[in-house]
Amino acid sequence: MATIAATPSSSILEGVPMEVLCSIFERMDISTVILSRLVCSSWKRLIDPFFVKASLKLTDETYDFVRNCNLETNTMKVKNFSIDCSMEPRTISRNKLAKSAKHIIFAPSSSSASHGRKSIQENMTTILTLNPAIESLVFEENSLKNIKSLSLRGIPFTRLTCLSVDFSYATDSRVFLDFVDLRLPVLKSVQLSEYWSEYGPENGSGYFGMYRFLANHKRTLKFVTLVHPMRNTDIRAASNSPLTTRKFEALKKDLSEIKLTSLYLYFVSIEGTGTFTLGGHLLQSQRSLTKLQVAIGGNYFYALAQVKEAILANASTLEYVSILSHEQWGVYVNLSNTLSALPVCCKLESFEVDHFFIPSLPSFPPSVKTLTISGYLLSDQILPQIDENLVNLEQLCYTDLSSYPYIHFEDIGHFNRILGLPRLKRIRVCKQHLTSEFEHFLDEHEGISWSEVAAEVTFRDNFLPFYEITTNNNNNT
């Protein structure tokens, strides 16, 4: 390193591809990265934007280093941090944990850190207080486990545009209230995941609290993701709204005024029962979505009618549509009626459907470039439709989950024509029931390469191997 430092103009790193540098430095501990930036000015210029300012990890083990490195950071990731870091007798701007972070991530806590829960809880508040200018805040799964409360109201999150919170099974209801009572003046994107694991009437209040939070940010929200909300709520114990009729109608009106461009909504058994209709109401209020993802859980398949209406209402703007079933019996639900809304989506580029019975496909608009289709498929009907209708298709992922989904001779002919589509770059097809004839067809086909992809989870514990087929179009710009 001394020799390199003596000739800083050599700029050794500048000739190394950035992908190689990333691979090298990501394997180093942070102290080695800091030392490397001292070699010469050219090293410092290259290292700082990508590796030093990119991220600092704050744990009990790295606390002294983070306090003493005197470096600002774009991202701070905090995990199991239980050392007392009470506010020092100085201004916030001079505190050694005030790193001017734009992004803060609280990582999952390990079970061994349970003894320091109170300190971890207090440190969360302290770190957020010291870095109030953050633009995104993420609480990953189990990062809030056994946390009793967070004092967030006094923190001026004036720049926070993105909030993602995973309310784990052990999350205290008071923590949930700490979040839903927040007022974030420029919030654009919110993701709320896995709230309430135990049955009880208080879960009804949680349901309405979640939508009240969305309503409080109706003027700024553009991206909303609600994953597994209220999955285990006992609707018998919480069958009525805890709100008065007047407040309930006011909440629905506020939700109607939210104008989103992206919505992911997980429909569960409570939705559509009694007054628990706010998820469907939010969906049907949208008129300018570019991205719509809907997951169906429980036996709430009658929500598919609402999904169809939402597709039609946003047909002029939708670019991406995803419809997923999270129940095994979804494969017995015919999706044809819902799919009939797709032909009018003139800007649609990507469509995904998983774990439904799909006897045939609609006439997709010519704008579609990516198709992901998984379920009980009638290949002898669907494959010809892909060949004939999706003339601009670039990527296809095809998984047949039916009892005897063997690729027959006729299917090989359809795949041959699909591979001839002028813009096709890649096909991923489930290997589970492919015959040796299909593999021979791939070996003999000119202009493609193929390989086996490691088994992936397509539904819960259903591990399926895939073949990935790449065409020469993949190398074209």
Q: Which residue has the higher pLDDT, 66 or 289?
A: 289
Residues 156-164 have a mean pLDDT of 95
Residue 159 has pLDDT above 90, yes or no: yes
In single-letter form, the type of residue at position 88 comes to E
Percent of the chain scoring above 70 in pLDDT: 72
**Residue 2 confidence (pLDDT):** 35
Residue 230 has pLDDT above 60, yes or no: no
Query: Distance between alpha carbon 322 and the CA centroid of its chain, in Å?
Result: 13
Sign of CA dihedral 455, 457, 462, 464: negative
**Residue 113 confidence (pLDDT):** 52
Confidence of residue 294 (pLDDT cuts 50, 70, 90): very high
List the structure tokens of 274.
Answer: 């009694």
What distance in Å separates the CA atoms of residue 417 and residue 411, rounded to the nearest whole number?
10
**Residue 4 confidence (pLDDT):** 35
**Residue 259 confidence (pLDDT):** 98
**Residue 394 confidence (pLDDT):** 97
Q: What is the pLDDT of residues 68-116, one digit of tens each?
A: 766 667 888 888 888 877 665 444 444 567 777 889 999 887 655 555 5
Residue 289 has pLDDT above 70, yes or no: yes
Q: What is the pLDDT of residues 380-392, one digit of tens each?
A: 889 899 989 999 9
Residue 471 has pLDDT above 50, yes or no: yes
**Strands 56-58 and 136-139, bridge-based pairing:** unpaired
Confidence of residue 438 (pLDDT cuts 50, 70, 90): confident
Question: In what helix (H) or strand (E) does residue 166 lie, and over which residues does it extend?
Answer: strand 162-166
Residue 195 has pLDDT above 90, yes or no: no
| Alpha-carbon distance values, 446 to 419, 440, 449, 470, 472 (Å) | 10, 12, 8, 11, 9
Q: Could you tell me which CATH number the domain at 73-425 has?
A: 3.80.10
**Residue 86 confidence (pLDDT):** 65
Helix (H, G, I), strand (E, B), or coil: what is residue 407? coil
Which residues of the chain form CATH 3.80.10? 73-425
226 CB-contact burial (10 Å; exposed 0-12 / middle 13-18 / buried 19+): buried
Residues 191-210 have a mean pLDDT of 65
In single-letter form, the type of residue at position 216 comes to N
Question: In what helix (H) or strand (E) does residue 430 lie, and over which residues does it extend?
Answer: strand 426-430
**Residue 237 confidence (pLDDT):** 47
Tell me phi and psi for residue 374, to 5 degrees.
Answer: -140, 135
Least confident of 33-47, 156-170, 432-446: 33-47
Look up the pTM and report it.
0.83
CB of 80 within 8 A of CB of 106?
A: no
- The residue count of the chain comes to 477
**Residue 9 confidence (pLDDT):** 37
Helix (H, G, I), strand (E, B), or coil: what is residue 146? coil
Mean model confidence pLDDT for the chain: 80
Residues 291-308 have a mean pLDDT of 85
**Residue 112 confidence (pLDDT):** 54
**Residue 267 confidence (pLDDT):** 80
Helix axis angle, 379-389 relative to 409-419, nearest 10°? 20
List the structure tokens of 69.
Answer: 């490195």
Q: What is the pLDDT of residues 232-262, one digit of tens each?
A: 555 444 445 567 788 889 999 999 999 999 9
Confidence of residue 369 (pLDDT cuts 50, 70, 90): very high
